[in-house]
């Protein structure tokens, strides 16, 4: 592919980036169309199979589980590789073609190996007016300087955290506001596997946005109102014990394979 591109000499004529293995094979028009894989022939990691079957049971129509199932397969394989699609297809009993039609539509489903972790830097409108582009460039420059590997770094459309602008999502953890000066530390911590910019994540204790407004002495124009509760006339307070901290929120994440591979691990012998 790359050679042909050089021959043509026009980057726009063919895809600029070389395609990942498995996606640039020519279509064999003589072959029978891809069918639903036989579950007996496909080796699916047990954890993935159980997860997909659980997802399918949630919906009246099993097809609805496609998006979360592909997400689960991506957590196992690192990307939606042809093998990952075949495994999902065999559990869900759909064609791999149907799954690839879905996988190519969504931004978070990767159709090429890009690293097992991700950093999305928002450069959309609200972040744009706060110089997000410079932040992204600084991080990209540092990533190259520090040889950051196995991390998918990309610009992303609005992540819904414009109050933190400019911001980035590191494996789902929102950090911000960022500046170009944060880039070296950001990349160093990312590379070392540490928490990136501790204290500046959305879920970190004590993190608050907006900055509290200065208190005005004027009385409020509207009465203070309590949402979904507050005072219920003629109703005694419920005797509820105090909360014991937040419930654990992280889903168990299936151990990822090495990037670029998509082979199911051998099932452990001592199982069952």
Partner 1 sequence: MSETRVLLANIDEPDLHTMDVYERLGGYRSLRKALLEMTPEAVLAELEESGLRGRGGAGFSMGKKASFIPKGSMDKYLCCNADESEPGTFKDRLLMQKNPHMLIEGCIIGSIAAGANKGFIFIRGEYELQADMLDAAVAEAYEKQYLGEDILGSGHTFELVVHRGQGAYICGEETGLLDALEGKRGNPRLKPPFPANQGLYQGPTLINNVETLCNAPIIIQHGAEWYRQYGEGNSTGTKIVSVSGNVQRPGNYEIALGIPVRELIYDLAGGPPEGREVKCFFPGGSSAPVLTKEHLDLPYTFEAMAEAGSMLGSGAIIVVDDSEPLVPLALRLAEFYRHESCGKCVPCREGTNWTVKMLERIDEGEGTPMDLELLDQIQGNIIGNCLCVLGDSMAMPVASMLKHFRDEFEQHMEEARRRRDLEELTPLAAPEVAAVPEAGPV
Site for partner 1 in 119-158 (CB under 8 A): 120, 123-126, 128-130, 156-158
**d(C-alpha 179, C-alpha 171), whole Å:** 19
**d(C-alpha 50, C-alpha 84), whole Å:** 15
Pair of tokens at residue 60:
């009246």
Q: Does 250 bind partner 1 (CB under 8 A)?
A: yes
**d(C-alpha 169, C-alpha 247), whole Å:** 22
Smallest distance from partner 1 to CB 57, Å: 10
Q: Which is nearer to partner 1, 131 or 146 (CB)?
A: 131
176 alpha-carbon distance from chain centroid: 18
Q: Which is nearer to partner 1, 95 or 146 (CB)?
A: 95
What secondary structure, in 3-state letters, does 94-161 show? CCHHHHHHHHCCCCCCCCCCCCCEEEEEECCHHHHCCCHHHHHHHHHHHHHHCCCCCEEEEEECCCCC
Q: Which is nearer to partner 1, 221 or 268 (CB)?
A: 221
Q: Does 254 bind partner 1 (CB under 8 A)?
A: no
Stretch that binds partner 1, among 32-40, 188-196, 241-249, 261-269 (CB under 8 A): 241-249
User: In the set 28, 29, 243, 252, which binds partner 1 (CB under 8 A)?
Assistant: 243
Q: Helix, strand, coil shares of the chain as percentages rounded to 5?
A: 30, 5, 60
Smallest distance from partner 1 to CB 58, Å: 5
Smallest distance from partner 1 to CB 204, Å: 11
What sign does the dihedral 21-26-27-30 (CA atoms) show?
negative
Q: Does 65 bind partner 1 (CB under 8 A)?
A: yes
Closest CA to 89 of 145, 164, 39: 39
**Contacting partner 1 within 185-224 (CB under 8 A):** 202-203, 209-211, 213, 216, 218, 220-222, 224
Smallest distance from partner 1 to CB 102, Å: 6
Peptide bond into 62 cis (omega under 30): no
Say if CB 115 and CB 124 are below 8 A apart: no
Q: Does 7 bind partner 1 (CB under 8 A)?
A: no
Smallest distance from partner 1 to CB 146, Å: 26
For residue 54, count other CB atoms closer than 10 A to its CB: 13
Q: Which is nearer to partner 1, 13 or 145 (CB)?
A: 13
Length of the chain: 272
**Contacting partner 1 within 70-129 (CB under 8 A):** 70-71, 101-102, 105-109, 120, 123-126, 128-129
Smallest distance from partner 1 to CB 228, Å: 5
**Contacting partner 1 within 162-181 (CB under 8 A):** 162-163, 165, 169, 172-174
**d(C-alpha 188, C-alpha 185), whole Å:** 5
Smallest distance from partner 1 to CB 119, Å: 12
Smallest distance from partner 1 to CB 195, Å: 14
Tell me, by CB under 8 A, how many residues bind partner 1.
74
């Amino acid at each position: 592919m790359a050679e042909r591109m050089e021959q043509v000499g026009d980057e726009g004529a063919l895809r600029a980036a070389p395609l990942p293995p498995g996606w640039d094979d020519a279509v064999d028009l003589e072959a029978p169309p891809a069918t639903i894989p036989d579950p007996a022939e496909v080796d699916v990691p047990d954890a993935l199979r159980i997860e997909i079957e659980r997802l399918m049971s949630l919906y009246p129509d099993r097809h609805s589980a496609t998006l979360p199932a592909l997400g689960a397969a991506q957590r196992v394989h690192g990307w939606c590789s042809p093998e990952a699609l075949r495994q999902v297809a065999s559990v869900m009993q759909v064609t791999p073609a149907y799954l690839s039609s879905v996988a190519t539509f969504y931004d978070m489903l990767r159709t090429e190996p890009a690293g097992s972790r991700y950093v999305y830097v928002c450069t959309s409108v609200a972040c744009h007016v706060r110089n997000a582009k410079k932040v992204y460039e600084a991080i990209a420059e540092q990533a190259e300087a520090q040889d950051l590997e196995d991390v998918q770094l990309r610009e992303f459309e609005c992540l819904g955290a414009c109050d933190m602008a400019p911001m980035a999502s590191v494996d789902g953890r929102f950090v911000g506001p960022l500046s170009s000066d944060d880039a070296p530390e950001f990349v160093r911590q990312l590379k070392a596997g540490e928490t990136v910019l501790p204290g500046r994540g959305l879920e970190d204790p004590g993190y608050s946005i907006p900055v509290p407004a200065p208190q005005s002495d004027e009385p409020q124009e509207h009465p203070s109102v309590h949402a979904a509760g507050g005072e219920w006339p003629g109703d005694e307070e419920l005797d509820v014990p105090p909360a014991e901290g937040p419930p654990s929120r992280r889903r168990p994440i299936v151990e990822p394979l090495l990037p670029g591979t998509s082979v199911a691990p051998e099932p452990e012998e001592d199982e069952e």
